[in-house]
Structure 1
Amino acid sequence: MRIAVAGGTGWVGKLVVAEAEQAGHQVVVIARSRGIDVISGAGLEEALRGVDVVIDVTNLATLSGTKATAFFETVTRNLQEAEARAGVKHHVLLSIIGVDRVEWGYYRAKLNQEKVALAGPVPTTVLRAAQFHEFAVQSLTRMGGPVAVVPKMLSQPVAAREVATELVRLAEGAPAGMAPEIAGPETLEMSDLVRKVSRAHGPHKWVLSFPLPGKAGRAMATGGNLPTTPGVRGTETFAQWLTHQR
């Protein structure tokens, strides 16, 4: 198959590209560094010629729900419209477990993205994933200073590599709408994971945890990010992942 990976130069995208190539597929990387802009649409249609499936793992680092909504909706519409013109048969989207239960701006943006993709002209598969193990590192290093503030969050963290493998497997099959969720093997408190990263590899910080205000905070703290249905479960534990990190 010929698979295009939107966001293929990001850290998740690189894993998807590697998994697709290892599975024997031809891969097209969609990224601005390759002269393809998913926001303006420049270069998209040319890049998608002969492509069978698009896997979308694009992302925007923002806490603004408004900015996230505009980004994801623009990217999804541009991709789907270009895919339809190029004859692409399947669109695979990476999303997050809990976007329908945690009323936080970024999650609402991802939920809207799911709806736009599923209503688009190209048949779509949506994979909701738990937080990656790397999320703990991001939470520790997001801000400078001696303190890391982490919202209370129950999660079932999963190895990003295992998510990449599942995305490629879904791309190889027929469009499925909402695919079974993928999560890791253990339910853990995010602040505990951040502390473990700090102790094992640094930077060494005080880790403070508190619930976010409102319904979103209560949902995160009480399991809103946990899978609710049977699905794929990764095998790599957080402890195993941590031992392999520098």
Structure 2
Amino acid sequence: MRIAVAGGTGLVGRYVVEELAAAGREPVVLSRSRGVDLLAGGAGLDAALDGVDAVIDVSNVTTTSAKKAVAFFDTVGRHLLDAGARAGVRHHVVLSIVGIDRVGLGYYRGKLRQEAVVENGPLPWTVLRATQFHEFAAQTLDRVPGPVAVVPRMRTQPVAAREVARHLVELALAPARGMAPDLAGPRVEQLVDMVRRLLRARRERRLVLPVRMPGATGAAMTGDGQLPLPGGPLGPRGSQTFDEWLLQQVGPHSVQGG
């Protein structure tokens, strides 16, 4: 069984490729380095998807602009779906984010467009919304180098990227199910606290400046906007905590005082 991975060279994509190989499946990486351009007319897609049974889309763009995010996810989604229909792909799986319909960030508008494109597309589909990854603390910290780290106040229930990848593979091997139950980590965390623990683990000295996003967006981020909906169907939970991830990534001193 051949399964294509859009974004297969990224953070989650690399784990998806590893999990597919471990499950005895043949991963097909869709990336520019493999001769596939998901944006420029979908160049190389038809050849890459020949004989592919399912597509897992974990493609990504780094932007806070709603316009750029919407354009990227709309274009990539349509190219993948159209080429998949021509190739006879039987299942299209997309990774999305918990809370994108409750938190008004520009990037989230792009993810909402991606979901809409898939839902209205020609292929049987599954969308998995996951919470932020443990790596999100490092991404936030490393986005702007310098002595001060500006960190948004945000509640999250972080999950290991590898566990997300494993769940995506399980979904891709099963029949399409539409919106899958949300995937979250085992424990609710404050992003500011995660960043401070990461700095301590790295033995870096930087001033952490917490900031609250304005208006309804800030209220949703500091509240339950990015957590699985209370009272909703209980979805799967990852097992690795943020501190366990730190221990694995940095070493035993990383969890001291965590």
TM, length-normalised to structure 1: 0.98
Give 1:31-42 correspondences, 5 Å limit.
Answer: 31-40=31-40, 41-42=42-43
Q: Give the secondary-structure state (helix, strand or coil) at the position aligned to 1:149.
A: strand
8 Å CA contact retained: 1:45, 1:82: yes
2:235 maps to which of 223, 231, 237:
231
CA shift at 1:202, angstroms?
4.5
Give 1:1-246 correspondences, 5 Å limit.
Answer: 1-40=1-40, 41-228=42-229, 229=232, 230-246=234-250
Q: Deviations over 1:79-121 (max 9, x none)?
A: 0000000000100000000001001111111011101111100
Return the letter of the residue paired with 1:199: R
Return the letter of the residue paired with 1:169: E
Cα distance in 2 between the residues matched to 1:235 and 1:20: 20
CA shift at 1:203, angstroms?
3.7
Cα distance in 2 between the residues matched to 1:245 and 1:67: 32
RMSD after superposition: 0.8
Q: Give the secondary-structure state (helix, strand or coil) at the position aligned to 1:174.
A: coil
8 Å CA contact retained: 1:153, 1:223: no
8 Å CA contact retained: 1:141, 1:203: no
CA shift at 1:217, angstroms?
1.2
**How many residues in Structure 1 have an aligned counterpart in Structure 2?**
246
8 Å CA contact retained: 1:191, 1:209: yes
8 Å CA contact retained: 1:97, 1:227: yes
Return the letter of the residue paired with 1:106: Y
Return the letter of the residue paired with 1:7: G
Cα distance in 1 between the residues matched to 2:125 and 2:140: 31
TM, length-normalised to structure 2: 0.94
Unpaired segments of 5 or more residues in structure 1? none
What's 2:253 paired with?
Answer: none
Cα distance in 1 between the residues matched to 2:219 and 2:10: 31
Aligned residues with identical type, % of pairs: 58
Cα distance in 1 between the residues matched to 2:204 and 2:81: 41
Cα distance in 2 between the residues matched to 1:81 and 1:133: 33
Q: Deviations over 1:139-193 (max 9, x none)?
A: 1111011111111110000000000000000000011100011000001101000
Q: Give the secondary-structure state (helix, strand or coil) at the position aligned to 1:93.
A: strand
Return the letter of the residue paired with 2:10: G
